[in-house]
Each structure stands twice: as C-alpha cells, then as structure tokens.
Amino acid sequence: MSLLIQYQPYILRFKFDAGTSRGVMKQKTSWLVKISDQERPDSSTPLRAGFGECGPLPGLSIDDGPDFETKLAEICGLFNSLDLEVFPFNLPIILEQLIPAELPSIRFGIETALHDFMNGGEKILFKNDFSQKKTGIDINGLVWMGSEEFMHQQIEEKLTQGFTTIKIKVGAIDFAQECRVLETIRKRFSSEEITLRVDANGAFVAGEVEEKLNCLAQYSLHSIEQPVAIAQPELMAQLAATSPIPVALDEELIGKMDYMEKFSLLKSIHPPYIILKPTLLGGFQQCGEWIEIAQRLSIGWWITSALESNIGLNAIAQFTAQFETTLPQGLGTGQIYENNFSSPLNIRQGKLYADGPETWDLSALDSGWLTV
C-alpha cells in the first residue's frame, strides 16, 4: 500500500444571499481531498479512493486565510513523501503528527478521507443505522437573516417540510424585526408544538445583552447560541448562570485543541449546551473529546455542519449517528447550494436520511486533482 493524497478547490454557490451577523455570503470555497492506493495488485482492480472536505469559514475558522491552499499543499506533499499506510490504530498518530492543531479544517478533511478510504471508499465512514439507511437524524430547520418577508418565507417552507425545531439567526438586522418574526411564530405555535432556537454569533455587546435576552425570553426559546463575542469568560459564565434563555457555546470552542484547556473552559463557564462543528474544531477525534467532557459535566450538546458540501455533511451526519442523541442536530445545510454534489442525503419531516434515490456524483472533480 502506498497512499497518495490529492486536492482541488471547489466553489460552492448559494441559492440565495446567506445572511449572518458577520455579513452576507454568496459563495464559499472548499478544498476537496482524495486519498487513494497507488499500489493496486493489477490494472483491473478498481481504484479505491476516500474523499474529504477542508472548508474553512471566512472570518470564523482559525485557519482561514490567503495562504490556506499553500498550507494544504505543504501537508499533502509531506503526506505523499512518507509512504504512509493507515489503520484504525495509527490514524490518530497520523493526524497529530502530520497536521498542526492550528489547521482544524485540514485535519477534518484528511481525517474524513482516511476514514472513507479505510472503509472501502463507499462514502460509509461509520457503520450505523443512519449510514445503513435504516433511520434518520432529527435536525433543526435553519432560517437565514434577511428581509422580514424572506425570513417568513423560509419559516413557512420549514413548517411545510415538517420541521418541529427551527433555528433563526439574530443579531445582524433590526432587533425589533427579529422579535416580530419570533412573535409571529409564537402566536401560531406553542413551545410544545414548535421549538425555537436562536443564534446570535456573538453579536450582542455587554451593555445590552441582558436586556435583549429578557426581550427574547418572552418567546419561550429553547436556547441562544453564542450571545456575546468570544474571550469574555466572566461575562459568558455570568450569562450561562443567569440568562432566562439557556446559553449554548459555539465560537467559544474554536481553537481549543488541548484536552485540559477544553475541560477548564467548560468547567469555568458551565453552559447548559455546547455546539460542535467538526470543521471548525479539528475533526471527529476533537469533537469526541468535547462530548466526553460535556457528559462528565452534565452539559448538553449537539453537532452542526459548517456549510460543507454533501461530502462533509455526509461524514458529519454519520459521526453524529454514532451517539445516542435526544436533541435535534444542526445538519440541514445540504440544500443551500445550487451546485452541491448529488448524493443519497435527503430531508423528510424534519429528519436527515441517507436513503434517497440519488447516487453519489463527483464527476465535477474528475479533471481537477492536484498532486504535490
């Protein structure tokens, strides 16, 4: 066995202007990676390949920057120079030794590709009832920021699609408008009928956050993600303890790769919930550590995609299905791109399934692989 890793950039185009508190996104670049065995027994043996996705989020990922592709190419070159073989026991060693902690999205992409390769290159990274097409995963429906009319339109679409948990991004447009949107939902549906989550992406500031949380609390919200910006541990701990809406840490977790640093953060702030994004946190092993610590401290958690294509989303969903989860996950982003890769992933009645009639089609990548 002699593993070869290749990569190529792929621009994903949104079907709409995706508004967040950090601005509006029209497209997003992911770097896809492919790992294959170049020492096949003979030419008639099919080339087994594992695929992964390195998709840093602009302005949020710690490895986002103009030199991202240069760093990815360096790691791929080192990988190819080592004549590596991969097995379950040495996968953590490869990731730890080969990919610096400050490159979490590259860790996630290569970890995903290695799992796919070890499992035969069939896009089944973790064998469970979800990947075996037996069950779905409860997910929330995501409503993006925009005009009041656009947000209401999205809500109606989510309700029609059978979602009972809806997540709305807040903090970038007029706060009164955001409250009106929430009020409209609550007038139609009680908290027992529709669960509402909001995500502020750190948009509220210290002098106003308590007042805004009190205003939002009248809409019987399940949780609010990252109400204030990161690196304010005392304020965040205070909000976690006193907020009328349960607080979930999200961006606060980014960049914390050391186990004791993770433990110290969660123990000192002790939020009701944490949000795990494998692309931003460094992959499945890192998320597994967060989950273990959260369970020790009786902190709830759920996993969220970070605008990956169906390649990354499929991997995250299968990883999520490894756990006994009771909360809806944030895995509903597969339908936001007009040029996503065809896959069996589909959403029905507020659940994500891997049993759709579509098959995997990565032909758009056939001619663009780069070897270092």
Q: Report the pLDDT averaged over residues 161-169.
A: 93
CA nearest 244: which of 222, 277, 229? Answer: 222
Mean pLDDT of the chain: 93
What does residue 356 show for φ and ψ, rounded to 5 degrees? -70, 165
Tokens coding 307: 């605008």
Judged against a pLDDT cut of 70, whether residue 224 lies above it is answered with yes
Looking at the domain assignment, is residue 131 inside a domain? no
Co-location of 155 and 276 in the same domain: yes
What one-character-per-residue DSSP string does 98-124 give? HS-TT-HHHHHHHHHHHHHHHTTSSS-
Q: Report the pLDDT averaged over residues 318-344.
A: 94
What pLDDT shows up at residue 329? 98
Co-location of 37 and 147 in the same domain: no
Co-location of 8 and 144 in the same domain: no
Co-location of 156 and 237 in the same domain: yes
CA nearest 304: which of 226, 356, 234? Answer: 226
Q: In whole angstroms, what is the distance from residue 68 CA to residue 77 CA? A: 14
Looking at the domain assignment, is residue 87 inside a domain? yes
What pLDDT shows up at residue 325? 87
Residue 265: give its domain's CATH number.
Answer: 3.20.20.120
Tokens coding 87: 């097995």
Residue 117: give its domain's CATH number.
Answer: 3.30.390.10
What pLDDT shows up at residue 230? 94
Contact between 308 and 279 (Cβ < 8 Å): yes
Q: In whole angstroms, what is the distance from residue 262 CA to residue 254 CA? A: 10
What pLDDT shows up at residue 45? 60
Looking at the domain assignment, is residue 141 inside a domain? yes
User: Residue 17's pLDDT band (boundaries 50, 70, 90)?
Assistant: confident
Co-location of 170 and 295 in the same domain: yes
Q: Report the pLDDT averaged over residues 276-299.
A: 98
What pLDDT shows up at residue 122? 95
What pLDDT shows up at residue 174? 84
Co-location of 285 and 347 in the same domain: yes
Judged against a pLDDT cut of 80, whether residue 18 lies above it is answered with no
Tokens coding 200: 């502020």
Q: In whole angstroms, what is the distance from residue 163 CA to residue 334 CA? A: 15
What pLDDT shows up at residue 21? 59
Judged against a pLDDT cut of 80, whether residue 23 lies above it is answered with no
Q: How many domains does the chain have?
A: 2
Co-location of 98 and 152 in the same domain: no
Q: In whole angstroms, what is the distance from residue 354 CA to residue 205 CA? A: 41
Co-location of 89 and 58 in the same domain: yes
Judged against a pLDDT cut of 60, whether residue 3 lies above it is answered with yes
- The strand ranges marked E within the chain are 3-20, 23-37, 49-54, 137-138, 141-143, 165-169, 195-199, 223-225, 247-249, 273-276, 300-303, 346-348, 351-353, 370-371
Taken in order 184, 186, 189, 195, the sign of the CA dihedral is positive
* Residue 132: CB atoms within 10 Å: 13
Over residues 59-114, the pLDDT tens digits come to 889 999 999 999 999 999 999 999 888 999 999 999 999 999 999 999 999 999 99
* Residues annotated as part of the active site: 169, 277
Judged against a pLDDT cut of 60, whether residue 44 lies above it is answered with no
The number of helices, as runs of H, and strands, as runs of E, in the chain is: 11, 14
Looking at the domain assignment, is residue 44 inside a domain? yes
Co-location of 82 and 152 in the same domain: no
Q: What distance separates the 2 farthest-apart alpha carbons in the chain?
A: 69
Token pair 């973790």 in the structure block, residue: 126
Q: Please tell me whether the overall predicted TM-score, pTM, comes out greater than 0.85 for this model.
A: yes
What pLDDT shows up at residue 243? 98
Cα–Cα distances (Å) from 244 to 61, 217, 237, 255, in that order, read: 30, 6, 14, 28
**DSSP tag of 251:** G
Co-location of 236 and 284 in the same domain: yes
User: Residue 41's pLDDT band (boundaries 50, 70, 90)?
Assistant: low
User: Residue 121's pLDDT band (boundaries 50, 70, 90)?
Assistant: very high
Coil, helix or strand at residue 211: helix
Of 21-30, 84-93, 112-121, 127-136, give the lowest mean pLDDT range.
Answer: 21-30
Co-location of 271 and 235 in the same domain: yes
Q: Report the pLDDT averaged over residues 314-336.
A: 94
Judged against a pLDDT cut of 90, whether residue 20 lies above it is answered with no
Looking at the domain assignment, is residue 132 inside a domain? no
Co-location of 165 and 30 in the same domain: no
Looking at the domain assignment, is residue 130 inside a domain? no
Judged against a pLDDT cut of 60, whether residue 42 lies above it is answered with no
Residue 61 belongs to domain spanning: 3-123+363-371
Looking at the domain assignment, is residue 195 inside a domain? yes
Looking at the domain assignment, is residue 129 inside a domain? no
